[in-house]
A and B are shown apart, each in its own frame.
Chain A
């Protein structure tokens, strides 16, 4: 039986989901407008489209960044959604493609597919206390959410940022953290796993900071991002602190190829991380988060 399809058949919701609209398989060409070297292997890039406007995006979403002839990699947005014109991405060089992205200089061109994926629950959290729990590079995908919450600060209760990383030299966005700390309306706690006596801050895992926040567990939304193990321990610790699983959100990561739920690679249990995530509510995934090699 032939499928009753015609060019331009539309479906409610997604912008590029029918023949005739932008093919989500084909990259748009962007140019690097600015590069910030965060550390020896972490770089932040601002990229602008060579044609048309930068699409709107929600905090938590990601783009597939393509380097000519090398390949594609999924990187979350790390910039402010309210600032138009460019996407900002923070990339760590860990392989051929991410290394190539991290090596791009201002003026270089790259391909962009996206934005894809689910978003942090910014609107849903209005009226509640908000806890951001970031581990290592996980601070980058949370940064757009932090910007959005701070931009509408009056809509939230207490806002707490718990940030753990490996050593004091690994602290990401240090100047920005210092700026946030100078605000009087956000509680910011930073800890490191390893330090020597020259560090005068906290030493220990980020879950230790949970007790400090002063947030009200029944009325809190927590957004957690970092290495998967860190998120597992943090989810458990937040749960122990009195948050229900429905109040906790994680940003998951799996192998991404198509980023649109059609290639099967990013499956995590019954979910597709690219369309059901990357931001996922804890209750949905807690049962198989700890299953070996799922």
Chain B
């Protein structure tokens, strides 16, 4: 478990986390390895796990009927995949597919939610890390949506 704790704390997402909380988080974590083309999650699945990418590339996708899957964005080393575990109904709203061989830390959502309920300090430390990420992602999505390179550029 000690090796996993080190890996968890080494991930950029947990930068600055108090060392005492390391084992607490690691207690919900596992090391995973996903081959190219394999899915980490499907749209509609229960959001029981979120992922800290250590290596590789994961595409967040939606499949419109009768067309190729649209890649909404790709996440790589240092990024987080999955925020649906934070808010009810805890369901994935898109697919997450490994584009290439990907190594990640999977964190059990129910486990971590329970620990946050009993230790609000842990909960707050996680919120402080998640919220800026979500705001940043919102900005990036907005810029993406503006289609600035389109034929009538914004």
Contacts and interface: CB of A to CB of B under 8 A. Distances in A.
Contacts of B69: 196-197
15 contacts: A135-B149, A136-B149, A164-B149, A166-B147, A166-B149, A194-B144, A195-B70, A197-B61, A197-B69, A197-B71, A200-B100, A203-B74, A226-B148, A230-B148, A233-B139
Contact of A165 (B57, B68, B73, B149): B149
Given A194-B70, A197-B69, A227-B154, A205 B149 contact: no
B52 interface: no
A200 B148 contact: no
Given A202-B57, A205-B143, A205-B144, A166 B150 contact: yes
B22 interface: no
Majority SS at the chain A contact face: mixed
Contacts of B102: none
A213 interface: no
Interface in B6-44: none
Interface string B71-111: 11110101000000000000000000101100000000000
B144 A199 contact: no
Interface residues of B, number: 28
Interface string B41-67: 000000000000000010101000001
A13 interface: no
Contacts, number: 76
Given A196-B70, A197-B68, A229 B143 contact: yes
Interface in A24-63: 41
Nearest to A230: B148
B131 interface: no
Contacts of A8: none
A187 B73 CA distance: 21
A229 B140 CA distance: 12
Closest 4 CB pairs of A and B: A196-B68, A136-B149, A166-B149, A227-B148
Contact of A207 (B143, B146, B149, B150): B143
A252 to B, nearest CB: 14
A91 to B, nearest CB: 15
B47 to A, nearest CB: 21
B59 A197 contact: yes
B39 to A, nearest CB: 12
Contact of B68 (A137, A164, A198): A198
Contacts of B144: 193-194, 204-205
Instruction: Select the residue from A136, A191, A204 with max chain B CB neighbours within 10 A.
Output: A204
Given A197-B59, A211-B78, A204 B73 contact: yes
A197 B98 CA distance: 11
A202 B74 contact: yes
A218 B69 CA distance: 41
Contacts of B68: 196-198
Nearest to A208: B140
A200 B59 CA distance: 9
B3 interface: no
A207 B76 CA distance: 14
A164 B67 CA distance: 24
A58 to B, nearest CB: 26
Contacts of A137: 149
Interface in A172-196: 191, 193-196
Nearest to B146: A229
B74 to A, nearest CB: 5
A225 to B, nearest CB: 12
